Amino acid sequence: MNGEAFNWHDVLGRWQEEWVPRADGDDEEEDEADEPALVGPGRPGADETAIVAAERRLGRRLPPSYRQFLAVSDAWHVDQMAAIYQLGGAADIDWFQDPYDMTRLCEQNLGDDPRQEDVLLAGMWQRALRLETDSDMSYALLDPGDSDQDGEWALYVHKGWGGEYPDRYPSFRAYMEAMYRHFHSTRVDRPDFVNATTRAQDARVEEARLLALRGRHEEALPLLEEALPFGRPRSAALLHQIQHLRAPRSSQDYGLLVADPRHLPEVLPVEAMATGRGRPLARHDGCPRCRPGDRRGRTERDA
């Protein structure tokens, strides 16, 4: 979903085609025996009359990317675990109006010389447009007071149970791009979750691996950084290896990767380089013989 050319029909159509439940089987629609099974996250777009009616009711024009989205799909099943589940359509959205008095709480914490982002956040609660219709005590809020030169409004996701600052996205489009990557990352363990996007991201990981083996680490990095949010296998481990090579004094955690015989030949040279220079091994919880301080394990591996 990156790049200058962006088309909601293409993006949402691809998402709709790729849709499958999560591997954990916890999609809410599966728990509702009386409800028909959800066959995709979207529904038909709103016509211009419906969008204009919503804008008249709200008293202002909607930001471009959200307006364009509604014309393609008038609502969306986001499936953001432990946060937003469903975004409403043109007839559902309304002003948030700060029912929990978050404005006062944020204003009390501004201090004498507040940052601009903190001032924007303090005012957001009263200005924001609420988008979600189903969530886990969470809110998707578009802020007309936090806008850019293109007229896009920042979107804040506030997790009411978390006690943390809201997550900020520069636009509705940026939020949906992040949710598309989230959709992929939460289904990566499903063996039947194979599509054009997974194949393309896996190809990037393999290209990055080959570039790294040729010493072209700088070219490999952006490929891995793109694949990582999709949860693609090996992307995190390869990225950590390259980061270790670029900053050998840092400690990188490869998790169970070192115990995997398919990857050990690639991890070991990096670790051997660090050990040979008198630096500690990275932490490997999954391989008893490669734990920091285990001199016997190092000797066996270095032999």
CA distances from 119 to 99, 104, 109, 110, 112 (A): 19, 12, 10, 7, 11
What's residue 163's pLDDT? Answer: 77
Say which residue, 277 or 208, is predicted with more confidence.
Answer: 208
Residues 118-157 pLDDT 10s: 999 999 999 999 999 999 999 999 999 999 999 999 999 9
The per-residue pLDDT for 95 is 98
Mean pLDDT over the full length of the chain? 83
Indicate whether 299 pLDDT > 50: no
* 82-86, 201-205, 224-228, 257-261: least confidently modelled range: 257-261
Give me the pLDDT at residue 241, please.
Answer: 84
303 pLDDT above the threshold of 80: no
- Nearest to residue 8, comparing CAs of 49, 42, 37, 48? 42
Stronger pLDDT, 241 or 295, i.e. the higher one? 241
Average pLDDT of the segment spanning 220-245: 92
Check residue 25 and give its pLDDT.
60
Q: What is the pLDDT of residue 23?
A: 78
Sheet holding 73-77, edge to edge: 42-44, 73-77, 84-87, 132-135
**What share of the chain has pLDDT > 70, as a percent?**
76
Which tens digit of pLDDT belongs to each residue from 65-107? 999 999 999 999 998 787 999 999 999 999 999 999 999 989 8
Specify the range with the lowest mean pLDDT, choosing from 11-15, 209-213, 298-302. 298-302
pLDDT at 37: 46
Rounded distance, CA 250 to CA 65, Å? 41
CA-only gyration radius of the chain, Å: 23
Percent of the chain with pLDDT over 90: 60
Instruction: Flag whether pLDDT at 31 surpasses 60.
Output: no
Whether the model clears a pTM of 0.75, i.e. scores above it, the answer is: yes
> What's the per-residue H, E or C state across the chain?
CCCCCCCHHHHHHHHHHHCCCCCCCCCHHHHCCCCCCCCCCEEECCCHHHHHHHHHHHCCCCCHHHHHHHHHEEEEECCCCCCEEEECCCCCCEECCCCCCHHHHHHHCCCCCCCHHHHHHHHHHHHCEECEEEECCEEEEEEEEEECCCCCEEEEEEECCCCCCCEEECCHHHHHHHHHHHHHHCCCCCCCCCCHHHHHHHHHHHHHHHHHHCCCHHHHHHHHHHHHHHCCCCHHHHHHHHHHHHCCCCCCCCCCHHHCCCCHHHHHHHHHHHHHCCCCCCCCCCCHHHCCCCHHHHHHHHC
What is the rounded distance in angstroms from the CA atom of residue 53 to the CA atom of residue 72? 17
pLDDT tens readout for residues 157-186: 999 887 788 999 999 999 999 999 999 999
244, pLDDT greater than 90:
no
